[in-house]
Structure 1
Amino acid sequence: MWPLVVEIALISIAVYLAIAMVLIAWPTPAPSAAPGTATRELDSLVAGGELAEPAAPRHFAARDGAIRLYRVYPGTGSDVLVFLHGSSSDGRYLARLANALVALTGLTVVTPDMRGHGSEPGRRGDIEAVDRQEQDIADLIAVLRTQNSSGRFLLGGHSIGAGLAIRDAAGQEKPKPDGMVLIAPYIHRRSPAARPNSGGWATPFVPRFAGIEMLQRFGIHIFDGLPVLRFAVPPAARDGIETPLYSWRLFASVTPRPDWRDDIRRIDCPVLVLAAERDSIFRSEGYRTIFEPLARATVEVIPAIDHFQLVTSEEGPPRVARWLKEAVR
């Protein structure tokens, strides 16, 4: 009897693993020939010259010895906002937003390039370990503390960068932020703010996603570095250092955990969520439901702008300044 049971179990495991391997090897979808709404909006934003000149790059040494790039927009006080960029890009496009926040709030705004991105990515489109982004944030804050940024520490981001901010605030690394500024945050593909394929901006390789996660149940991680997601980066945003493909590891490292509701509940500071009425990537009204469990969360939807205009609109920075004065002690 027992040999038969063992044989059936081994056959079942072999079939399971074979299915996982087939899914991983499944052909990836071809890029769309027609750009979606979000892609056209980003193309227009970059080509239109609305972005400011970024600050000069600086560098810090992370705990694993990697040299990481960041930019600083100095304020007049001791408070610092570490603000994270969105998918496929790097911190350069945040310069206009950073300058406006400095002028209105006195904050020093710091925009690091997340690992896997920018001109010094390490592994473009990939990362060594899922928790490395959070470690980098903690290491950067330690460096900033030595440079007299001894006041309040605020954390924020745009789009998937705001997703990483949520992940970091809910994780194990310290210090924890005194406040958070989340602009059109990525939450989860099944959250109330989600649109199918992020409105055409992101194309997931669904079979490969499934196959990799099947193997992970057996502790097999050798395929975690394969690309599983493609972004529809428009021509105007292609300068040779864009990151159009994400591995499973990179995507996991910059997004809230699968139990995203628990990540939200773990945030223990005032939160400002700014969304765009015409966001074609996320459903802005969904943020009210997502952040309802947080008593100190404020959700504001800015009318007549889209997802990418959130970082250039003159509406956003005054809202941050008002919230900072009223909500963050």
Structure 2
Amino acid sequence: MKLAFDLRDFKIPVDRLAPQEVFRTRQKDLLSYRFYAARSENLVILCHGIGGDSRYLCSLASAIALAGFAQVVTPDFRCHGASLSASDNIASNQLEVDLEELIIHMKMKMPVKKMTLAGHSLGGGFTLRIAVSDVGQQFTNFVAIAPYLPESFHALTADLGGWISFNSQDEGIKVNYPEAFKTGEEKLSYSADFIRAAVVPEDLLIRLREGNASLSLITGDRDEVVLGARHLEVFEGLAHPLVLAAGLNHLTIVSKPTTARSLFES
């Protein structure tokens, strides 16, 4: 299947890429992240999407930090980064547990005044999941960037940009990464267990209406994977601001960070 977007146009600015760091959770698991320092006691935790890891978020993460909005940590989800080879057959609350472990680790390293949880694609969906969870009470703000939502929300393009495909037998996901761009550090398949641990609950909108989460959402109007216009309908009255960014697609929304960065301004 041909991708609707060309990865040759997507570059990771290695001069701004923070080094990978690791920490061990209280459950003895080794997880990794990247940290972008700033003169701020605010902390943004910025989560990546399917296929890649925290590296591809470096343009946005460094832009937020350099602007002085907040310190930024970009975690690698379990089974990505340093734990790429680990099994992704995980409990439904495992990613939430991992997030709490990361928060503990970061607070032991630095003073934190307030926290924002943000994410792109599957990470954006995970951000929405946390916004209506008990863990979400630790965050002041939430920023969802081109968030992935389950099919029942009718917010996915017909072919998902050729980027991912569903396994009808076990409800897992396959990533259609072009051979020419593979480095051996991509995650090319996801179990149904992992996807269930990351995606939003079906009653997300009801819980957002009943709660008081401070939510911002942005999607590019040229996104090949998710439907930005549908996001405007779904999250009307629930996200402020709710932005359909002109001229940006699923990857340039984070690789050309000027518009998305503004959502993090204090």
- Calculate the TM-score normalised by the size of structure 1: 0.74
- Alignment partners' CA distance in 2, 1:264 and 1:290: 11
Gaps (5+ residues) in structure 1? Answer: 1-31, 210-227
Displacement after TM superposition at 1:59 (Å): 1.8
Matching of residue 301 in structure 1 with residue 265 in structure 2: no
Matching of residue 131 in structure 1 with residue 93 in structure 2: yes
Matching of residue 112 in structure 1 with residue 75 in structure 2: yes
Displacement after TM superposition at 1:99 (Å): 0.8
Aligned to 2:259: 316
Corresponding residue SS for 1:115:
coil
- Alignment partners' CA distance in 1, 2:211 and 2:57: 24
Show CA shifts across 1:2-55 (max 9, x none): xxxxxxxxxxxxxxxxxxxxxxxxxxxxxx3xx130xx33x2234xx3533421
- Alignment partners' CA distance in 2, 1:87 and 1:150: 28
- Alignment partners' CA distance in 2, 1:263 and 1:243: 31
Matching of residue 36 in structure 1 with residue 6 in structure 2: no
Matching of residue 59 in structure 1 with residue 22 in structure 2: yes
Q: State the AA in 1 paired with 2:161.
A: G
Corresponding residue SS for 1:145:
helix
Distance 1:207 1:120, change over 3 A: closer
Matching of residue 268 in structure 1 with residue 212 in structure 2: yes
Instruction: Provide the aligned length of Structure 1 versus Structure 2.
Output: 265
Q: 2:9 aligns with which of 42, 45, 50?
A: 45
Distance 1:298 1:247, change over 3 A: same
- Alignment partners' CA distance in 2, 1:137 and 1:290: 26
Q: Is the 8 A contact 2:232 2:244 kept in 1?
A: no
Q: Is the 8 A contact 1:202 1:231 kept in 2?
A: yes
Q: 1:151 aligns with which of 113, 118, 129?
A: 113
Corresponding residue SS for 1:190:
helix
- Alignment partners' CA distance in 1, 2:152 and 2:259: 27
Corresponding residue SS for 2:83:
coil
Greater gyration radius: 1
- Calculate the TM-score normalised by the size of structure 2: 0.91
Aligned to 1:187: 149
Corresponding residue SS for 2:97:
helix
Q: 1:203 aligns with which of 157, 161, 165?
A: 165
Displacement after TM superposition at 1:235 (Å): 3.2
Output the aligned Cα RMSD.
2.1
- After TM superposition, list the pairs within 5 Å mapping 1:226-237 onto structure 2: 228-237=172-181
Q: Please, which moves more after superposition, 303-312 or 235-244?
A: 235-244
- Alignment partners' CA distance in 1, 2:137 and 2:242: 24
Corresponding residue SS for 2:124:
helix
Matching of residue 162 in structure 1 with residue 124 in structure 2: yes
Matching of residue 177 in structure 1 with residue 139 in structure 2: yes
Q: Is the 8 A contact 1:170 1:264 kept in 2?
A: yes
Gaps (5+ residues) in structure 2? Answer: none
Q: Is the 8 A contact 2:131 2:213 kept in 1?
A: no
Displacement after TM superposition at 1:267 (Å): 5.4
Displacement after TM superposition at 1:266 (Å): 5.8
- Alignment partners' CA distance in 2, 1:149 and 1:234: 42
Percent of pairs with identical residues: 23
Displacement after TM superposition at 1:111 (Å): 0.4
